[in-house]
Amino acid sequence: MKAAVFYAFAQPLVLETVPDPVCPSDGVIIEVKANGICRSDWHAWMGHDSSIKLPHVPGHELSGVITDFGSEVKHWQVGDRVTTPFCGACGTCDECLSGHQHICNNDYQPGFSGWGAFAQFVAIPRADVNLVRLPETLDFVEAASLGCRFMTAFRGVVDQAKLRPGEFLAVHGCGGVGLSAIMIGAALGAQVIAIDIDDSKLELAKSFGAIATINAKEGRPHLAIRDLTGGGAHVSIDALGSQITCRNSIHSLRKRGRHIQIGLMLADDANPNIPMYAVIAKELEIYGSHGMQAHRYPAMLDMIARGRLEPKRLIGKTVSLAQAGAELAAMGQFSQTGVTVINDFN
């Protein structure tokens, strides 16, 4: 099969022919029809993730068709249209048994723990726990845009923040995760404020439902948020993952507000200086949000089917597998608008 491989961190991907993946006894082989290019892939390519073993094929935002399945698989057949969370569960650990498969103690992550979907085919183990059936009305490119950014934002806004109609939601960073959170927040009836340093992304945020925008280049965006909301946001999300956006998000909150950390905090941003004095004085709540369980996809897919959510609007462009390396490298400059999806693997 064709795959985009990197042999050293932060070095160009090489498009080449590699052996087809072997089907796990409890898993499936998926012919990849579409795969998103995500900032998490960039972190892997940069060497920020210790689970990466070289050489490596990235890619975890995939959708496609099952071409083979193992002898232990009960619920899936060749030809099924599927996607999968990037945080694959074992199904048997304490977290899985309590319904928290996205933080499985023995997780498997395509594109991280093993080779991913910058390729024509990908192996996914533990299929009965981890696969999600795609409705016929959802095309493969839109399905790829759901994970990890959209589904992570969905869990962050719906399950972690428990956002309520009428509440103020501040979203720091208007990339794929941020725009997803804005769309989801607006669909839930919240008053969404978008924060970024790029005016074009802020204009896009308005079209996704933001009632107000703030350019953080002007300095101290949390003060502007407090003025707009009469004291601070009920919920604030760091959708980027930097020390600056994390602190700004926490400072944006009103008393008893909820901060949701969705953007990954890695490399130089791994240990931010959190204003714990504000957390104590205001009785703030801080939540992490890491992916979403396969069993929570139906709620998200239902909102898409009813037209309340339109993840296809997040898609900035589609590219070929040959173009994936250049797109991945560009993630470091935050130059893309929306979600870029690979849909040509020839």
Mean pLDDT by 10 residues, the chain (346 residues): 97 97 98 94 92 96 98 98 96 97 96 97 98 97 92 97 98 95 98 97 97 94 97 97 96 98 89 93 97 97 97 94 94 79 96
Q: Are residues 95 and 221 in the same domain?
A: no
Q: Which domain holds residue 93?
A: 2-144+310-344
Residue 260 lies in a domain: yes
Identify the pLDDT of residue 345.
Answer: 97
Question: Which amino acid belongs to residue 300?
Answer: M
Can you tell me the distance from the alpha carbon of 169 to that of 157, in angstroms, rounded to the nearest whole number?
9
Burial (CB < 10 A; 0-12, 13-18, 19+), residue 287, is middle
Residue 105 lies in a domain: yes
Residue spans of alpha helices (H) in the chain: 39-46, 94-97, 127-130, 140-144, 151-154, 176-187, 199-207, 221-229, 243-251, 276-281, 297-305, 324-330
Look at the chain and report how many structural domains it folds into. Answer: 2
Identify the pLDDT of residue 147.
Answer: 83
Residue 304 lies in a domain: no
Residue 249 lies in a domain: yes
What CATH number did the domain enclosing 115 receive?
3.90.180.10
Q: Are residues 276 and 324 in the same domain?
A: no
Residue 305 lies in a domain: no
Q: Are residues 189 and 118 in the same domain?
A: no
Residue 37 lies in a domain: yes
The DSSP 8-state label assigned to residue 219 in this structure reads S
* Among 346, 341, 320, 306, CA closest to 63: 341
Q: Are residues 127 and 13 in the same domain?
A: yes
Q: Are residues 10 and 133 in the same domain?
A: yes
* Among 187, 196, 159, 184, CA closest to 290: 159
Q: Are residues 275 and 319 in the same domain?
A: no
Burial (CB < 10 A; 0-12, 13-18, 19+), residue 296, is buried
Q: Are residues 131 and 180 in the same domain?
A: no
Q: Are residues 255 and 121 in the same domain?
A: no
What CATH number did the domain enclosing 185 receive?
3.40.50.720
Residue 266 lies in a domain: yes
Cβ neighbours of residue 258 under 8 Å, at least 6 residues apart? Answer: 160, 161, 162, 234, 235, 236, 284, 285, 286, 287
Peptide bond into 148 cis (omega under 30): yes
Q: Are residues 268 and 317 in the same domain?
A: no
C-alpha 214: how far from chain center: 23
Q: Are residues 206 and 269 in the same domain?
A: yes
Identify the pLDDT of residue 154.
Answer: 98
Q: Are residues 203 and 107 in the same domain?
A: no
The DSSP 8-state label assigned to residue 160 in this structure reads I
Q: Are residues 202 and 136 in the same domain?
A: no
Residue 326 lies in a domain: yes
Of 243, 258, 288, which closes a domain? 288
